Amino acid sequence: MDFNGDQKLDVAVANLTGNTVSLLIGDGTGKYAAPVSIGFTGPSGLAVGDVNGDGKMDVLVTSTTNAVGVFLGSGAGTLAAATPPAVPVGANPLDLVLGDINGDTKLDLIATNLNDNTISIRLGNGNGTFGATATMATNAGPIGIALADLNADKFLDLVVANQTAGNASIYLGTGSGNFFSTPTTLTTAAGTRYVVVSDLNRDGLLDLAFTNFSANNLGVYLGNGQGSFAGVTGSTLFGTGANPIGIAAGDFNGDGNQDLVASDFSAATLTLLLATEQCK
């Protein structure tokens, strides 16, 4: 994301133990200026988008105070302190996404509430504030969340990783009413934490990959373009270092395939999984 309009990528970070949210301005060569930090209690999940319609990127961060902080971007590489102070959600929100789920072009927010076994949906007003909370049930222990159109009907769909249940919930977007259909469950593995959505086998259909914290592996599930997913035959689970948490997809070796990288919490390592023909 570019926070100061120089077309060079910058980074926003939530520092849970440091109780700060930091912005690191990049110079485009992989180097970053010293972080500029703002105090914020118990930050965890972070999402970036323009929530007040001024064309400048803003940062939203979940807090252990059961709220989401809205940090409006100046467009000059700084963030304003979270005002209004926070948008209440459920208990112990650890992750959130931004996207327009009701088709009014304003970004809406959805947070996972680990301790409530719910997600909170708040529609954006387009000025940095959000409307009333709608709540939907999840399976036990929701943490990771992703928003993408999985079945190509133009409505954003939702994937939630349920750590305690060891599965994921897939909610197809309806574009109206309560925004999402009753979820279907995808069985994953013990301690499913975070999810990434990407076309991992280059068939033009979005696929899913999850970190399984307790199982020490990644699960890869190929999409059929209609909202259903199947584990990669014979190699559904890919080993990682101990207790993988974060996951991201990208082409790390320049061969045009989407590879996966996971951050291993207990091992303090990164696991890189290069996509090969076997994923097809």
The separation between CA 144 and the C-alpha centre of its own chain, rounded to angstroms, equals 6
Shortest distance, position 99 Cβ to Ca ion, whole Å: 8
Least Cβ distance, residue 151 to Ca ion (angstroms): 5
52 or 263: CB nearest Ca ion:
52
Nearest distance in Å: CB 225, Ca ion: 8
Burial 189-212 (b: 16+ CB within 10 A, else e): bebbbbbbbbebbeeebbbbbbbb
| Choice between 118 and 151, CB closer to Ca ion | 151
Q: Whole-angstrom Cα distance, residue 179 to residue 30?
A: 39
Instruction: Give the up-direction half-sphere exposure of residue 275: CA atoms within 13 A in the CB hemisphere.
Output: 25
Chain mean position to CA 86:
19
Q: Which residues make up the interface to Ca ion (CB under 5 A)?
A: 50, 52, 54, 56, 58, 100, 102, 104, 106, 108, 149, 151, 153, 155, 157, 173, 199, 201, 203, 205, 207
Give which of 260, 259, 165 is closest to 214, Cα–Cα: 165
User: How many CB atoms within 10 Å of residue 28?
Assistant: 11
Of the pair 151, 271, the CB lying nearest Ca ion is at 151
CB closer to Ca ion out of 235 and 266: 235
Q: How far is the CB of 230 from Ca ion (least distance, A)?
A: 11
